[in-house]
């Protein structure tokens, strides 16, 4: 049997959890603004200054990987993304750097040996449209540009291979 003090502590904990869940339901949540019923569209510049529109890749499967150079899991997964890119040329791999300057990103990519396309989301608008609330975050787009899968967190080569099988 629990004494009165233990019952009071349990009651307070349970009440706090229930109140927290209730507040969570009413506080506005960051929602992904990516259209799930239609193709996404955006244009960004690459580290070499060229402008790319995501519609340039219609007709191909696209992997979008949102990252930052200071992010340890992002850094750790890049060699697997590079190897995946080298072994799967039929799939477009696009890194999207979030809010860092061009020279920092360019030096980082060179040091990591990255050869896939990397775009710069300098103002964070695109990452905001995708509802990015943690990095790395990776999206899979089908041939029409629709988002068909999302993964928050680091990915390995094997996970990338399984990720693209969701199409």
Query: Do residues 131 and 32 touch, judged by C-beta distance below 8 A?
Result: yes
SS3 133: coil
**Cα angle 29-76-33, degrees, rounded to a multiple of 5:** 25
Domain boundaries, the chain: 1-30, 43-164
Comparing 1 with 80, which gets the higher pLDDT? 80
Beta-carbon contacts of 147 under 8 Å, excluding residues fewer than 6 positions away, are 34, 35, 36, 40, 139, 140, 141
Mean pLDDT score of the chain, rounded to an integer?
A: 86
Q: E-assigned strands of 33-116?
A: 43-46, 51-53, 61-67, 91-98
With a CB cutoff of 8 Å and minimum separation 6, the contacts of 115 are 82, 85, 86
Q: Give Cβ neighbours of residue 52 (< 8 Å, ≥ 6 apart).
A: 43, 44, 45, 46, 94, 117, 119
pLDDT at 30: 35
Residue range 43-164, CATH number: 3.40.30.10
Write out pLDDT tens, residues 137-155. 999 999 999 999 999 999 9
pLDDT in tens, 102-120: 999 999 999 999 999 999 9
Distances (CA, A) of 167 to 90, 152, 164: 14, 18, 6
């Amino acid at each position: 049997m629990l004494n009165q003090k233990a019952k009071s502590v349990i009651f307070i904990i349970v009440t706090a959890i229930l109140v927290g869940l209730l507040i969570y339901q009413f506080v506005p949540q960051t929602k992904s603004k990516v259209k799930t019923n239609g193709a996404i569209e955006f244009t960004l510049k690459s580290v070499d200054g060229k402008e790319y529109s995501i519609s340039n890749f219609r007709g191909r499967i696209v992997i979008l990987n949102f990252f930052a150079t200071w992010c340890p899991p992002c850094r750790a997964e890049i060699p697997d993304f590079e190897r995946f890119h080298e072994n799967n040329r039929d799939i477009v791999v696009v890194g999207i750097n979030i809010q860092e300057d061009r020279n920092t990103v360019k030096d980082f990519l060179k040091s990591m040996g990255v050869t896939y396309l990397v775009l710069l989301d300098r103002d964070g608008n695109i990452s905001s449209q995708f509802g990015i609330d943690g990095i790395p975050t990776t999206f899979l787009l089908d041939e029409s540009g629709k988002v068909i899968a999302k993964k928050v967190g680091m990915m390995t080569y094997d996970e990338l291979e399984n990720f693209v099988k969701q199409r």
